[in-house]
Amino acid sequence: MENRPHTANEETTEYITLFIDPQILSDFEFIDISRFKIADEKNSKLSLLKKGDRLWVNFADGEHCDFPYYYKNVKSILAGIELQKNLRVSTNEAFDGFIKTTQNMEKKVFSSVSLNPGENVKDLWDEIIKKVNLISNESHSLRSLMEKLLDVPFLQKFESSLVILHLKGQTKAELLGIIWRSEKTQSLIEVKDFNAFFNSIKKSKIKSFSSDTFPKMNLPFNGSFLAKEVMSKKYSMVAIVSRHDFLSYSKEEVELFETCIDLLQPHFERLIDQEFSDKRISELRVCLKDFPLPLRIRDNISGSAFMNDLYTSELQDKDIFFNKKVQGPFSLDLYDSDELRHYAFDLFHFQRISLLGELLNTLRHELSNPLFGLKLGSQLFSMMDVNTDSKEIMHEIEKNVNRCQVIIENFSNLYQIQNESKPVALKKIIDESIVLSKSEVREVRKSIQYLNNTENIELDVPLIFVVQIIFNLIVNAAQAMKNMEGTKELTLTINAEDKNVYIDVFDNGPGIPADKLSQLFKPFFTTKSQGTGLGLVLSRNLALKMGGNLEYLVNNSGKGAHFRLMLPRT
């Protein structure tokens, strides 16, 4: 060993230069080499090498120690080196310190296998490591891995082998594994109970426990057990083995078990990754199964790759109202269905409303300034010495600008309050609806009648919902009367009872033919060439949402249409 002058000066302090076998780095990806001074094998004081099942630690003078090849040993050695580095001692001291660490560790490791006196310790270790490697390669699920774990030499007298796994973000943890060496077991555990359990395992120094200590876990056996926690980015997990008796475990058994779990960690990771992704797929399938419209995923080879419960073979291509190529050979079809589709439209509708809200906000900001300019300009001109005619025109411009401003304000106020409901005067609701529909009902004679002092009633409903419904009814009425000869009349009457208010919208148009009445509130039913057939459906949905209703009242005169919006009083 090289003898260097001892110095406490930090700048001349050298830390052990280290070589780590690339194989070790790839086996234990979690080693952070940035924390060490890494050199090539020739120039390093210490080399960590993988030789078969052994970990070799080569010293610069040609000496070597070997250890069972597992993560824990690599970790302890590296931790020893890092400790010296952090203490900022010079090379020689660091080296001495390192030797002490490895010697301690060696002692610990070799004492830990003394539970089988008479056997060659190295052989036992080799056997354990071989077995662990074998079972981890043979296992294709977490459960089978746990099952095979009981074949590892020192665990052959154990009865159960379990894991409790909590995938981050899930509301339950899952216990699975085998008891009595053959009986499969599986159960779910509340996350908070699991967390408490996990923490007690983590904090405990002895790692040997009794099932009585954790009544909430409902462990499927009675007696003492060994447990070791494993944590990664995606999950936290506790591995458990038990002999189903009440004897406590030896220090050696604890060490061996911990070592096994350490060794298995990369395999846990792999298996959980696999099973987790399978689980996600099955969860996605369940979601699709519950989709409220008939749905089919087609592939161009076998036809149907997936269908949900609402899909029936009677459905035909003409019933498809939405089709999208998804990925690879797959395409997704959604079919029309009377009962259920309004759910979907509700969703589209709300998306549209919030989009519209944003749009309106932008519009308001963008239009306000030019409108203000127009207003100022026209005010300026009407102050100047121009003739009366021009003044009048300027005045008209100003009036129109004001009107634009009011409309923009109204619209954006409407959308600002969104779904919030706060008491709003019934009269305000009606006024807003009239202002918004002004251009649609230009040639229509309007009359609004408040009965029983309903002007002053306040409703605890979202303004936007009600305005939208009334706006819709007014526009419908106006359009129904559009090509009509004679006077077009629109009447709104507002009335109230103890519990409800009624807003009735009458027109004197052609009315709804009796044979069309049953379809009136069905999606896509429309009598207009440009209509979507959604207005009344959405309006009724909104009314129902507020605890009210929207209905068509058949009048006996056979003329005109009469819709009634009922809303609950606060």
Partner 1 sequence: MNTILIIEDEILIQQSLKKLFERKGLKVDVSASGKLAIDLILNNHYDRIICDLMLQDISGFDVIEESKKKFSPEEISKKFVIMTAYNSPQVLSRANAYQCRLLNKPFDDLEQAMRTMTE
Pick the binder of partner 1 from 204, 304, 355, 373 (CB under 8 A): 373
**Closest CB to partner 1 among residues 52, 370:** 370
Q: What are phi and psi of 422, to 5 degrees?
A: -140, 155
Tokens of 373: 């300019």
Sequence-distant (6+) residues with CB within 8 A of 289 are 308, 309
Cβ closer to partner 1: 394 or 546?
Answer: 394
Tell the smallest beta-carbon distance from residue 415 to partner 1 (Å): 17
The CA dihedral of 91, 96, 98, 102, to the nearest 10 degrees, is: 160
Q: How far is the CB of 433 from partner 1 (least distance, A)?
A: 25
Q: What angle do CA 265, 266, 272 make, to 5 degrees?
A: 85
Site residue total, partner 1 (CB under 8 A): 15
The reply on whether position 368 binds partner 1 by CB under 8 A is yes
Name the segment binding partner 1 (CB under 8 A); options: 4-12, 369-377, 448-456, 479-487: 369-377
Least separation in angstroms between CB 412 and partner 1: 13
Select from 20-28, 54-62, 139-147, 374-382 the region that touches partner 1 (CB under 8 A).
Answer: 374-382
Q: Which member of 45, 341, 375, 564 binds partner 1 (CB under 8 A)?
A: 375
- Of the candidate spans 157-165, 236-244, 376-384, 560-568, the one that interacts with partner 1 by CB under 8 A turns out to be 376-384
Residue selected from 369, 453, 456, 556 as contacting partner 1 according to rule CB under 8 A = 369
Q: Which is nearer to partner 1, 290 or 409 (CB)?
A: 409
Query: Do residues 223 and 244 lie in contact, with contact meaning Cβ atoms separated by under 8 Å?
Result: yes
377 binding partner 1? (CB under 8 A): yes
**Is residue 238 within 8 Å of 230, Cβ to Cβ?**
yes
Beta carbon nearer to partner 1, 311 or 415 = 415
Give me the least distance between CB of 477 and partner 1, in Å please: 34
Select from 39-47, 98-106, 319-327, 372-380 the region that touches partner 1 (CB under 8 A): 372-380
Q: What angle do CA 396, 402, 405 make, to 5 degrees?
A: 145
Backbone angles phi, psi at 492, to 5 degrees: -115, 125
Smallest distance, partner 1 to C-beta of residue 362, A: 12
Pick the stretch among 97-105, 331-339, 371-379, 516-524 that binds partner 1 (CB under 8 A). 371-379
Q: Does 137 bind partner 1 (CB under 8 A)?
A: no
CB of 360 to partner 1, least distance (A): 15
- Which helix (H) or strand (E) segment is 445 a member of? strand 445-450
Q: Which residues, 379 to 398, sit near partner 1 by CB under 8 A?
A: 379-380, 383
Stretch that binds partner 1, among 311-319, 368-376, 415-423, 498-506 (CB under 8 A): 368-376
- In whole angstroms, how close is the CB of 367 to partner 1 at the nearest point? 10
Q: How far apart are CA 325 and CA 303, in angstroms?
A: 14
* 45 within 8 A of 95, measured Cβ to Cβ: yes
What element of type H or E holds 480?
helix 463-481
Indicate whether 365 belongs to the interface with partner 1 (CB under 8 A). Answer: yes
Question: How much of the chain is helix, strand and coil, in % rounded to 5?
Answer: 45, 20, 30
Q: In the bound complex, what is the minimum distance in angstroms from residue 377's beta carbon to partner 1?
A: 5
Q: What are the residues facing 226 on neighbouring strands? A: 208, 241
Query: Could you tell me if residue 271 is left (phi over 0), alpha (psi between -120 and 50 degrees) or otherwise beta?
Result: alpha
Judging by beta carbons within 10 Å of its beta carbon (0-12, 13-18, 19+), is residue 226 exposed, middle or buried?
buried
* Burial tier of 276 (Cβ tally within 10 Å: 0-12, 13-18, 19+): middle
Instruction: Enumerate binding residues for partner 1 (CB under 8 A).
Output: 365, 368-377, 379-380, 383, 405
